[in-house]
Amino acid sequence: MKPAAGRRLKPGLRPGLSPRWRLWLLQVLAPLLAILFGALVASVIILFIGKDPLAVYGLMLRFSLTRPDSIASILFKATPLIFAGLAVAMSFRAALWNIGVEGQYYVGALCAALVAFGVKGLPVVVHLPLTLLAAVAGGMAWALLPIVLKLRRGAHEVITTIMMNHIAAAVLLYLLADVLRDPAQAGTPRVRTPVFEPTALVPSLRPLLDAVGFRIPGYSSLNWLLPAGLLLAGLLYLFLTRTRFGYEVRAVALNPDAAEAAGIRIARVQFLMFLLSGGIAGLVGLNDVLGFFGYLDIDFPKGLGFLGISVALLAKNNPLGVILAALLIGFLDRGAQGVQVFAGVPREVITILQAVIILAIVVAYELLTRYVRVLRKREAERAAPPAAPSGTLAAAAPGGPGPGGGG
């Protein structure tokens, strides 16, 4: 009897990793290799300006990860990016391009500001949730027109959402400058709303962090929107992977024709997911408006919606991956400040690093998608039964359908 080591493998089997584990390994390695590639490209630029890349990266890591103020800054920067990335990812998961997260969070911040300074005398347990709901409603309202035009008239959502971004910016500037401007700021260059009621502000995380032994600087504005974003990402992950509607969303994204043939109402799925995207987008600006400034200023942070597209692409539209992608961008932003001040390296070098990482990951994921398609096609071919010889078929069914048959 032959030893077990001498047994032949069944046809179609290969030694080594199974296809499932191979795919998982590639998904893990893709972003890591993209980060490494981006670091190599940035290293060339750093060498050209006469600096040591290893020293610069070492300084970047020490400055960003060993100082409490840097860790708090990274988490504060990542908080709005989590919401922005989730908003973009929810539309991408339904095969829609919501480029309007920028305008939607402008309107969300405006609606939150109206409730925050306009409503008085409410306890915090009522006023703060009402302010958050106003932001969600504002974002959803601004997303309503593009998705209705998409589903009813076929207008492409990229065009309509970009146009809505410009409209939102113009409306916000007009209202802040002429209608909602704080009368106390008349005659000064400050253009902002009145100061919000204290009951509408998001509490700081400092007391909780002090209680667990992690002390952050007193000037840090890290607040409870960070755990809210983490919780929302977890809930959305469960929603997409454990519910019937989440299954419908995945089916619509993978193959709309097959989903429609299976009885899934594509328009309903896309409508609800786009509104969900807009509602989450309404929360993007609140980290600064309710957690830092305490009023809506004409110079409050812009561009977070477009950064959300980068976060969603880095995360491959995975809600849990959005958290890691937002932390990565927060780390790069904080590291750019450190290397600029202490190493004399322009922060634009880190911006280039971030851009190259995003491009590399997009390319890597596209190559990975094509590999998965080829892999599945091969598995289907191996699983298919071998075709019988044509002579056998003819002898078994001489009168069957076909040329000359009786069908």
Q: What is the pLDDT of residue 383?
A: 76
84, 106, 199, 284 from 171: Cα distances, Å:
21, 9, 27, 18
Do residues 194 and 295 touch, judged by C-beta distance below 8 A?
yes
Three-state DSSP class for 191? coil
Instruction: Please report how many Cα atoms fall inside a 13 Å half-sphere around the Cα of residue 294, on the Cβ side.
Output: 8
Provide the pLDDT for residue 361. 84
Instruction: Check residue 17 and give its pLDDT.
Output: 65
Count Cβ atoms below 10 Å from residue 172 Cβ, excluding itself. Answer: 20
Q: Which residue has the tokens 């990402």?
A: 233
Q: How far apart are CA 282 and CA 177, in angstroms?
A: 21
Report the sign of the C-alpha dihedral through residues 384, 389, 393, 396, in that order.
negative
Question: In the prediction, which pLDDT does 405 show?
Answer: 47
- Burial, 352: exposed, middle or buried (Cβ in 10 Å; 0-12, 13-18, 19+)? middle
Nearest to 249 by CA among 276, 228, 287, 229: 276
Distance, CA of 226 to CA of 293 (rounded, Å): 16
Report pLDDT for 396.
44
Whole-model pTM: value is 0.87
CATH topology of domain 56-344: ABC transporter involved in vitamin B12 uptake, BtuC (1.10.3470)
Q: Report residue 401 as tokens.
A: 């359908």
Residue type, 194: P
Give every CB contact of residue 141 below 8 A, 6+ residues apart in sequence: 107, 278
pLDDT string in tens for the chain (407-residue length): 444 554 454 444 445 666 677 777 877 788 888 888 888 999 999 999 999 999 999 999 999 999 999 999 999 999 999 999 999 999 999 999 999 999 999 999 999 999 999 999 999 999 999 999 999 999 999 999 999 999 999 999 999 999 999 999 999 999 999 899 998 888 888 899 999 999 999 999 999 998 888 888 888 899 999 999 999 999 999 999 999 999 999 999 988 889 999 999 999 999 999 999 999 999 999 999 999 999 999 888 999 999 999 999 889 899 999 999 999 999 999 999 999 988 888 988 888 888 898 888 888 888 887 887 787 787 777 777 765 555 554 444 444 444 444 44
Q: Which tokens go with 124?
A: 């915090």
Residue 230 and residue 225: Cα distance in Å, rounded? 9
Look at the chain and count its residues: 407
| CB 318, CB 239: distance < 8 Å | no
DSSP one-letter code for 192: B
Phi then psi for residue 218, to 5 deg, are: -65, -25
Tokens for 67, please give them: 């100082």
User: Cα separations (Å) of 15 from 93, 137, 335?
Assistant: 35, 55, 44
DSSP line for 204-259:
BSHHHHHHTT----TT---BTHHHHHHHHHHHHHHHHHHSHHHHHHHHHHH-HHHH
Q: On the CB side of 225, how many CA atoms lie within 13 Å of its CA?
A: 29
384, with CB counted inside 10 A (0-12, 13-18, 19+), is exposed
Domain ranges of the chain: 24-51+346-371, 56-344
Residue 163: per-residue pLDDT = 96
CA-atom Rg of the chain in angstroms: 27
